[in-house]
Chain A
């Protein structure tokens, strides 16, 4: 343990764009590496959507003639919803893994480095996006034989939008984990947030079937707009205003969420 010359230590300010970028990349690579070592997520990630396709999808086929059911085949309505759900569950529960990292002292150790605080959130969230992105891709491929039709550009934009959903929900989960610090308290709170988000997103059944008051509440939910946008994208319905509305709404919520979470991470006391 020689203490000869001091190591070259980064001179950038912690919030400089370079520092943010390089630290985000470091955190992303580290967390992705750790996730890949446990392939269980992939199995769960494939089995679950497949069960939905197999056991829930057929119900929708008989619904597709009902007045108020959105355009496109049953699976073009259903799969975008499943993708949003995959993103929802792939992002709202990430705080639990983070509490484990806190317990091992990893988070505190990194707080005593000049690391960008925003990168701690962003790097992990990008990992989560990759994880549910891969699950989503598998889902799409599996759904094609069931009758899902895709448009390449639509698919790319749809997955970008799913990534934005990750940026809305992931940072909130991490910030809550940081502030709360225990699984026991985080679990009910996460449930309390995730369930209404899910029910008011039109993921399970289209919101176009809902009464007006319910639909009005749903418009406050970014996931509702994202779901509509992704449906339009799968149908390649470029004239639909839902696409822009979904992208803009989710984008604004994502910015807000990253901002709030990185503030929580910056506050020393947290």
Chain B
């Protein structure tokens, strides 16, 4: 049996006096050791709540979550020794130096002063902050600060690192660098569980993905598997004012698997894009409609996302 670093069964979390707000409603997850796992979802879908439960910051209302083989509800302290957690906001005091924070973190995990200093130097080297290590953190760039956050999560050599939106707000260069950092973690045997709302990030970086919406996992698999599940090709048609009518008309056609509407653009999921194009044009023409834009493409993760959640992640990210 393969080793699992995260395993949840029917995980639930409600908020409010009468449990009226259901943030997570029955999440089942399995994350294999040594992989990069991506957790995708629109804002408010339960992404952060799930992450916080797994990182012992929030107890589940019901269900079971085992992280590194340990139950988060009954042995949160043991979980904390085995995981690293990097919040979206980071976790360092801007007045401290990077080295100072790393040493502090090491001491909190039970290292002696000398051990903590040695480990801090090692980590500063590893994330390429050796020169900046003694400067106050408020002089760091966004990318440097994020690398320090990752180093802080790795001080005690956890088997699993949680990264909440690791590249949000970073420029493209710093993002690419962070991806390298995350891949290096996997190479050294650390499993990574990250949340993101960048589909290219999920596509390029993650071995497996799960999409969460309304507190439930709606799709799970590798990026390729998820894209294949959408099947066929995607036609996007822009028709000013008549999008709803067009979606209805085309949705009823036998060659169309599914028609959807997003951002005023009609999206058709068809088996054969090339053969469908003339049919679509003829049908529109018959109604006296002329499309402003017409595009044919292979399904992207955004299509997967749109199909599973009814929302475009691009829109969410904006």
A9 adjacent to B104 (CB under 8 Å): no
B107 adjacent to A106 (CB under 8 Å): no
A113 adjacent to B56 (CB under 8 Å): no
Cα distance, A187 to B178, chains bound together (Å): 39
Q: State the interface size on chain B (CB cutoff 8 A).
A: 49
Cα distance, A115 to B92, chains bound together (Å): 16
List A contacts of B109 (CB < 8 A).
Answer: 7, 9-10, 113-114
B87 adjacent to A9 (CB under 8 Å): no
Q: Write the chain B residue with the least CB distance to A112.
A: B85
Which among B80, B87, B89, B119 is the interface contact of A114 at CB below 8 angstroms?
Answer: B80
Cα distance, A103 to B87, chains bound together (Å): 11
Q: Of residues B104, B106, B119, B159, which shows the largest number of chain A Cβ atoms within 10 Å of its Cβ? A: B104
Which among A3, A13, A33, A268 is the interface contact of B157 at CB below 8 angstroms?
Answer: A3
B56 adjacent to A112 (CB under 8 Å): yes
A26 to B: closest C-beta gap in Å? 5
Which among B56, B84, B92 is the interface contact of A268 at CB below 8 angstroms?
Answer: B56
A104 adjacent to B80 (CB under 8 Å): no
Q: A23-B108, A113-B80, A113-B109 are in contact. Are A269 and B59 (CB under 8 A)?
A: yes
Contact with A along B169-204 (1 / 0, CB 8 A): 000000000000100110011100000000000000
A136 to B: closest C-beta gap in Å? 25
Contact with B along A1-36 (1 / 0, CB 8 A): 111111111111110000000110010001001100
Q: A3-B190, A103-B89 are in contact. Are A110 and B157 (CB under 8 A)?
A: no
- Confirm or deny: B76 has a beta carbon within 8 angstroms of a beta carbon on chain A: yes
Which residues of B in the span 97-135 have a Cβ within 8 Å of any Cβ on A? 100, 104-111, 115, 119, 122-123, 126-127
A105 adjacent to B108 (CB under 8 Å): no
Which label, helix, strand, loop or mixed, suits the secondary structure of the A interface?
A: loop
Q: Of residues B81, B94, B111, B151, which shows the largest number of chain A Cβ atoms within 10 Å of its Cβ? A: B81
A105 adjacent to B89 (CB under 8 Å): yes
B110 adjacent to A9 (CB under 8 Å): yes
- Confirm or deny: B282 has a beta carbon within 8 angstroms of a beta carbon on chain A: no
List A contacts of B119 (CB < 8 A).
Answer: 7
List A contacts of B66 (CB < 8 A).
Answer: none
A8 adjacent to B115 (CB under 8 Å): yes
List B contacts of A8 (CB < 8 A).
Answer: 110-111, 115
A110 adjacent to B111 (CB under 8 Å): no
A80 to B: closest C-beta gap in Å? 34
B89 adjacent to A2 (CB under 8 Å): no
Cα distance, A26 to B112, chains bound together (Å): 12
A113 adjacent to B105 (CB under 8 Å): yes
Q: How big is chain A's contact interface, by range? A: 35 or more
Q: Write the chain A residue with the least CB distance to B112.
A: A8
- Confirm or deny: B24 has a beta carbon within 8 angstroms of a beta carbon on chain A: no
B80 adjacent to A268 (CB under 8 Å): no
Q: Write the chain B residue with the least CB distance to A12.
A: B110
A108 adjacent to B87 (CB under 8 Å): yes
Q: Write the chain A residue with the least CB distance to B115.
A: A8
Q: Write the chain B residue with the least CB distance to A102.
A: B89
List A contacts of B92 (CB < 8 A).
Answer: 104-106, 109
Which residues of A in the span 24-78 have a Cβ within 8 Å of any Cβ on B? 26, 30, 33-34, 37-38
Cα distance, A149 to B202, chains bound together (Å): 72
B58 adjacent to A104 (CB under 8 Å): no
Q: A7-B119, A115-B108 are in contact. Are A2 and B91 (CB under 8 A)?
A: no
List A contacts of B123 (CB < 8 A).
Answer: 1
B71 to A: closest C-beta gap in Å? 14
Q: A1-B184, A2-B188 are in contact. Are A112 and B57 (CB under 8 A)?
A: yes
List A contacts of B105 (CB < 8 A).
Answer: 109, 113
Q: A1-B127, A106-B92 are in contact. Are A11 and B185 (CB under 8 A)?
A: no
List A contacts of B55 (CB < 8 A).
Answer: 112
- Confirm or deny: B90 has a beta carbon within 8 angstroms of a beta carbon on chain A: yes
A104 adjacent to B115 (CB under 8 Å): no
A100 to B: closest C-beta gap in Å? 9
Q: Of residues B87, B115, B126, B155, which shows the largest number of chain A Cβ atoms within 10 Å of its Cβ? A: B87
Q: Of residues A9, A30, A34, A109, which shows the largest number of chain B Cβ atoms within 10 Å of its Cβ? A: A109
Nearest 6 pairs between A and B by C-beta?
A: A10-B110, A109-B91, A105-B91, A105-B89, A112-B85, A1-B126
27 contacts between A and B (CB under 8 A): A1-B123, A1-B127, A1-B185, A2-B188, A3-B157, A6-B156, A7-B106, A7-B156, A8-B115, A9-B81, A9-B109, A10-B109, A13-B77, A14-B77, A22-B107, A34-B93, A103-B89, A104-B89, A104-B90, A105-B89, A105-B90, A106-B92, A109-B92, A109-B105, A112-B83, A113-B109, A269-B59
Q: Give me 19 other A-B pairs in contact (C-beta within 8 A), A3-B189, A114-B109 excluded.
A: A1-B188, A1-B190, A2-B188, A3-B190, A7-B119, A7-B157, A9-B156, A23-B108, A26-B108, A34-B93, A104-B90, A104-B94, A106-B91, A109-B85, A109-B105, A109-B152, A113-B80, A114-B110, A115-B108
Residues of A near any B CB (own CB < 8 A):
1-14, 22-23, 26, 30, 33-34, 37-38, 101, 103-106, 108-115, 268-269
